[in-house]
Amino acid sequence: MTASSTVPKFGSLFGAARMLIDGEWVESASGSTFDVVDPGTGEVVAQAAEGTEADVDAAVQAARRAFEEQRWLRLSGAQRGVVLWRVADLIEANVEELARLESLDVGMPLAVSRAFMGEAANQFRYFAGLADKIHGRSLEIGPAERRFHAYTAKEPVGVAGLIVAWNSPLFGATMKLAPALAAGCSCVLKPSEEASLTPLALGGLLLEAGVPQGVVNVVTGFGPQVGAPLVAHGSVDKVSFTGSTQVGKQIVRAAAGNLKKVSLELGGKSAMIVLPDADLSQAVGELAMGIFMNSGQICTSGSRLLVHRNVFDEVVEGVAEFAKALKVGYSTDPVDLGPLVSQRQLDRVTEYVTGSVADGARVVCGGSRIGDEGYFFEPTVVADVDPSMSVVREEIFGPVLAAMSFTDVDEAVAAANDTEYGLAGSVWTRDVAAAHGIARRMRTGRVGINAHRAGGVQMPVGGYKQSGWGRENGTEAVEEYLETKSVVTLLDR
């Protein structure tokens, strides 16, 4: 392993091909690299270090040493909070370069990327404020003649393996790192092989902010060579994963070796329910962006549209017209939507749309690739679908909306819950009582009322059913990285 003590600036990520292990920027143990592709052009723009099991072991051992030596944990919660707040300041100070780097890596429009950078800074500020508010409780127990003083203590779980998805890589990394660090854990971060640049940049900012060496390590590479050994490693105490349900199940099995704690934010097939009294002038555009934002590459995207038959044609046509007006193009141009992240994802989305047509669905708008350079796909609405179709049942992770009608609320709620997923959803109506009643009946971790994209770092995110275990955001996120210890002592009477 060749090491360099110089933290690479963001621009040098294009040629460095290094990972962050124990505070040093190092090449892969094998010396291998892999291509970083600009999804807007399909061209290779950089190389990233292709990590191995040896790199994972080195990173985990570094994190374990940092934890056992209490390099981070010896700081008070307030002191850790100061460092985390400094990370937020550094993200904001570098927001333009980070946004451009992320747009280059995953194709999202610059305006969207900048917004995600702001949310990333919010993550560190919020959990900086929680770092000194992690505490247990005290009580007295036992009969009068034999009383005990008892208390609980909250302690960090230890070494956390954090595996993030490619759709918003820096923000996704902060959703795990910020609460884990607030709790006092040491971490090994594995970015997606599709999007490694900004998580590496974040590693540099963490060091610059004062996070001690070895507390955060970043290992790039592919799932079998990096993700699998990280999950199975006996010195990892906790795994937090964002990605597909299929891989989430593999992680559960791999984590069984030492029964490490696991939290999972997995797939979604979120439903947007539109009642006939909804304010359609306000709803149509937000319904459209509920699915099309970031080209549908958001786990909570509203990919199923359930509309009362009395307004079905009006809503579907309105969403389709909105979709047709969206400008799709390269991330640094003034566009609404960028490309899909890869050729593989483009092929996947295309297959779902062509498959739905073969099954009898009608394409209302879109349905095709745009151009022959990059991985652009038209915002697409399909109708005349039924619940048995793959386009309705499976997560596509692209700009494809499946629209169905219903006749009464019970039918709509049943259709919304007719899925193995339960990540998000929304209901659109002027009737407040009906809205809250439907929200309570939807088996999903988040429900918006007259909004689909709503929330923030304060609001927990996570799923029911096969959309995952545990929660990110809010005070619940810190609990995912803590153990509770009970201490009992006999009182001297």
Cβ atoms within 10 A of the Cβ of 30, count?
A: 15
Dist. CA 442–CA 491, nearest whole Å: 49
CA distance 91 to 143: 55
Side-chain-side CA neighbours of 217 within 13 Å: the count stands at: 30
Residue entry with tokens 């059913």? 465
Beta partners for residue 48, in sequence order: 34
Nearest to 177 by CA among 227, 242, 261: 242
> What are phi and psi for residue 478, nearest 5 degrees?
-65, -40
Determine contact, residues 223/247, Cβ cutoff 8 Å: yes
Tokens, residue 11: 């621009």
d(CA 457, CA 465): 23
Active site residue 265: yes
Own/partner long-range contacts of 457-462 (Cβ < 8 Å, ≥24 apart):
457/119, 457/122, 457/123, 457/126, 457/127, 458/126, 461/175, 461/265, 461/300, 462/263, 462/265, 462/423
Angle, helices 95-106/169-183, rounded to nearest 10 degrees: 120
In the sheet that holds 304-308, the strands lie side by side as 362-365, 380-383, 400-406, 304-308, 271-274, 425-428, 447-449
Question: What is the spatial distance between Cα 273 and Cα 439, in angstroms, rounded to a whole number?
Answer: 10
Per DSSP, 9 falls in state P
Pairwise CA distance, residues 377 & 149, whole Å: 64
CB 383 within 8 A of CB 364: yes
Quote the CA–CA distance of 165 and 31 in Å, as a whole number.
24
- Torsion, Cα 307 312 314 319, to 10 degrees, reads 50
**What phi, psi does 185 have (nearest 5°)?**
-75, 160
Alpha carbon distances (Å) from 93 to 86, 87, 117, 121, 189: 10, 10, 11, 10, 23
Which of 50, 102, 194, 265 is labelled catalytic?
A: 265
Q: What is the largest CA-CA distance in the chain?
A: 83
Q: Which of 363, 349, 355, 361 is CA-nearest to residue 397?
A: 349
Catalytic residue numbers, as ranges: 265
